[in-house]
Amino acid sequence: MSTTTDPDKTRAIRELDRLTSRYQRAEETRDDRRDALHAAIVKHLKARNAAPGIISDHTPYDRVHVGRIGKAGGVEPLIKGEKVTYAPEAVAAATAELDELTSAFTAAEGAVDKARDALHPAIAKHYSDRHIGPGEIAEHTPYKRNRILQIAREAGAPRIRP
Question: Is residue 162 one of the residues assigned to a domain?
Answer: no
- Per the structure, the count of domains in the chain is 1
Question: Is residue 1 one of the residues assigned to a domain?
Answer: no
Any idea which of 37-41, 77-81, 84-88, 145-149 has the lowest mean pLDDT? 77-81
- The answer to whether 41 and 160 have CB atoms below 8 angstroms apart is no
Share of the chain above pLDDT 90, in %: 78
pLDDT confidence of residue 103: 98
Question: Is residue 123 one of the residues assigned to a domain?
Answer: yes
The 3-class secondary structure across the chain, one letter per residue, is CCCCCCHHHHHHHHHHHHHHHHHHHHHHHHHHHHHHHHHHHHHHHHCCCCCHHHHHHCCCCCHHHHHHHHHHCCCCCCCCCCCCCCCHHHHHHHHHHHHHHHHHHHHHHHHHHHHHHHHHHHHHHHHHCCCCCHHHHHHCCCCCHHHHHHHHHHCCCCCCCC
Question: Is residue 38 one of the residues assigned to a domain?
Answer: yes
Question: Is residue 45 one of the residues assigned to a domain?
Answer: yes
Question: Is residue 84 one of the residues assigned to a domain?
Answer: yes
Radius of gyration of the chain (CA): 23
Q: How confident is the model at residue 131 (pLDDT cuts 50, 70, 90)?
A: confident
Number of CB atoms found within 10 A of residue 142's CB: 12
Question: Is residue 131 one of the residues assigned to a domain?
Answer: yes
pLDDT confidence of residue 123: 95
Q: Is the pLDDT of residue 148 over 90?
A: yes
CB-side neighbour CA atoms (13 Å) of 108:
21
Q: How confident is the model at residue 130 (pLDDT cuts 50, 70, 90)?
A: confident
Question: Is residue 161 one of the residues assigned to a domain?
Answer: no
134: domain range? 7-154
